[in-house]
Amino acid sequence: MEKTLSALVVHDIKNALALLEIDLEQLIHREDAPTEGIRAYRRCVDLKSRLISFLTLYKYDQSGLQPLTQEVVLLEFIEDLVRHSQSGMAPESHHGHKITVSIDYEKMQMGRMATAWLDENLVELAMESALNNAIRYAHHRVDVWVEQTPDALILNVQDDGVGVGVVGALMQRNIPDQSSSTGLGLALCKAVAEAHGRGEVRLESISGGGTLFSMTLRSAS
């Protein structure tokens, strides 16, 4: 009974958040949309995405995730991902810096119309959370790129922040602290990578500052 009740409540809150998001979305479409409105929209999107991450992880803990793989055109997928991260206004770090998110075409390793078999909804959820996390800790920019090898697909997100050593040693632990949004996001990425067959998630500091997040999906090529 208690479980059913909490499920109902969570479902209800999620739907309410989504409706709020849609209302705010309409608001920021206006020419004269106030900055506060845009900020409220961003908060709402973030909150909803955290709740959905949590629910997905919960599902993973209870019964595992069964990916529904479809053939996805990688470039389309990445471009949409980057575009969504910028809807409304340029994203901001938690210090209030404006962050530029772009695709690093130089580092892309794949054919022009390259495709991969993956669960678009799950991978999108994971990548959104990785991207949001990178934006939060970046100074100026976040780069995204994809490498496709014969037996793996690697999705990369790199920021120019201070690096994992400073902001999130906890993220490298096997069992991330799910109470922080970074930890929650990372746990979600791990779950999604595992659901795509022996996948893995890495988070490392790079020389010259910044953090590189990479998610490897083995069954996606």
Partner 1 sequence: MATILPQGSSIFDKHVENEYVRFDKLSALVIDDISSMRHAIRTQLQSIGMNSVGVAVNAHEALELIGVNTYDVILCDYNLNKSSSGQHFLEYLRNENLLSGTTLFIMLTAETEYSFVANAVEFIPDDYLLKPCSETKLRSRLERLIDRRTYLIRVLKAMDIRRYDVAIHECNKLLATAADDRRRMDVLRRKAEAQLKLEDYTAVLDTYARAATIRADAPWILLGMARAHYALGDSPQASSLASELIDKNKNYVAAYELLAKVRLEADDEEGAFDLLLRSSVILPSAKRLRSVAQAAFLLGRLDEAKANAEAAIQLSTGSMVERSGDYLSLAQTLVDMGDHKSAISTLEKNARKHGDEGIFGVAKGAILAQAYFDAGEREKAKKLMDRSISLLASRKNSFVMTALGKAALKVGDVILGLKLLTKAIQCSGKDEMRIARHVKKSMVDTGQKDKVEDVIDGGRKRILLLVDEATKLMRTAHFEEANQMVVEALDIQEENIETLMTAAQLHLLWLKHEGLDDKIMARAKTYLSMLDKLVPNNQKVMNFYRFFNEIASK
Q: Which residues of this protein are in contact with partner 1, per CB under 8 A?
A: 11, 14-15, 18-19, 21-23, 25-26, 29, 45, 48, 52, 55-56, 58-59, 65-68, 71, 73, 75-76, 79-80, 82-84, 86-87, 89-90, 100-103, 105, 112-113, 115, 117, 119, 121-122, 125
Residue closer to partner 1 by CB (options 144, 203) is 144
The nearest distance, CB 56 to partner 1, in angstroms, is: 5
- Residue written as token pair 């690096």: 163
Residue closer to partner 1 by CB (options 57, 186) is 57
Report how far residue 134's alpha carbon sits from residue 17's, in angstroms, rounded to the nearest whole number: 24
Residue closer to partner 1 by CB (options 24, 201) is 24
The nearest distance, CB 178 to partner 1, in angstroms, is: 16
Q: Quote the strand ranges of 82-177, DSSP E.
A: 100-103, 115-118, 141-149, 152-159
Residue closer to partner 1 by CB (options 103, 167) is 103
Residue closer to partner 1 by CB (options 67, 168) is 67
Q: Quote the strand ranges of 75-210, DSSP E.
A: 100-103, 115-118, 141-149, 152-159, 200-205
Q: How many CB atoms lie within 10 A of CB 3?
A: 7
Cross-strand bridge partners of residue 211:
159, 205
Residue closer to partner 1 by CB (options 188, 215) is 188
Buried b / exposed e over 59-69, threshold 16 CB at 10 Å, is ebeeeebebeb
The nearest distance, CB 205 to partner 1, in angstroms, is: 27
The nearest distance, CB 181 to partner 1, in angstroms, is: 17
68 contacts 117 by C-beta, under 8 angstroms: no
Distances from the Cα of 82 to the Cα of 55, 76, 117, 128, angstroms? 24, 10, 20, 9
**β-bridge pairing 200-205 and 211-217:** antiparallel
The nearest distance, CB 101 to partner 1, in angstroms, is: 7
The nearest distance, CB 158 to partner 1, in angstroms, is: 16
Amino acid, single-letter form, for residue 150: P
